[in-house]
Amino acid sequence: MPFYQDIKHDEATYPPGEREYIASRLLDLRQVLEARIPERELRRTLVLGTWNIRDFDDNKFGQGPRRRESLHYIAEVLARFDICAVQEINDKLKPLKDVVKLMGPSYEFMATDVTMGTSGNNERLAFIYDTRKVQFRNVVGELVLPATRQGETRQIARTPLVASFQAGWFKFTICTAHIYYGKDSRTSPEYARRVNEIATIAGILAKRAKEEGENYIFLGDFNVIDREDATFKALADAGFFVPDELQGSNMAGDRSYDQIAFQGKKDELIALSAGVFDYRLAVFRDEDFVRYKAGLPQKSESGAPLDLSTDEKRLAHYRKWRTWQISDHLPLWVQFEVDFSDAYLEGIAKGA
């Protein structure tokens, strides 16, 4: 459960007026989360999420760093999940540590080292999980591809993170990735690389799932265009299932960049519900623009001066700016069954 003591007692960070506003927005956010994401349960279910948190938190485009209130909102959303994969964490870990601290003492995280090189973009991947519910099974690593007979293999642009966990009776291995983007044109070499990365990782995980008899979950920012695209087909061809509800994770709601895909034991891998959560229903709404407009950066992400002469233009700028305060991606979630005790006892009762 997130902590809020700082809001009440740290007057230097949260002056009068600010603390009341943040508290009111958190109350609204909690209400919307309650209505749209299943309540976490200790025994029966696992609520698993994935979220690309935009450039968290390097301020390389001059649109941040994030406000302290933004960290509270991010923590509130993340605390709705028992475990969440996070992409696009940048070099410095302090903002992530600050968010996890706000989430409460039961939460821990594991993160990759930064992936070097232009394609790696100095990014990390992470899992944040509630230790009261999710136990780490002592297996973790970064997925590195073997060399082919012809020589070196081009590695995944941002090295995927793989770890094994258990919640209740449910044992699973989870892999998160931020797939290469490049150009959107389906005829470009960059697009071919994107499809190949998804297909390669999915193929490796599918092979392991069958060999190990393990439940595998592959999730993250795959830069999938839509379900008719080769990027999505690569998941399906490897035998991964994606709930129909997981569509429209970008701001416009017309791209399915982020995905949660899974395969494994049919009697254990039971998805009860799934969805996409839009934080704009409660925080950094369009109607909140008047609160922030005076403090908006005066330059674009490229550093060019902006024409902010009208409220219409300032609103458009605000809509971009808020994606650096929260994200330009929306979090996804799936609720899994984790209590198989009845079936186990029934098997014993039948002499199995």
- Residue 108 pLDDT: 98
pLDDT of residue 182: 83
CB 77, CB 279: distance < 8 Å: yes
**Domains (ranges, CATH) in the chain?**
32-283+326-349 (3.60.10.10)
pLDDT at residue number 151: 61
What's the pLDDT score for residue 149? 62
Query: Tell me, what's the pLDDT at 117?
Result: 74
Q: What is the value of pTM for the model shown? A: 0.95
pLDDT of residue 12: 86
Cβ(278)–Cβ(330) below 8 Å = yes
- Sheet containing strand 271-276, strands side by side: 107-111, 124-130, 83-89, 45-56, 332-337, 271-276
Q: Which residues of the chain have pLDDT under 70?
A: 148-152
Q: What is the pLDDT of residue 116?
A: 77
pLDDT tens digits, 94-151:
999 999 999 999 999 999 998 877 777 889 999 999 999 999 999 999 998 887 666 6
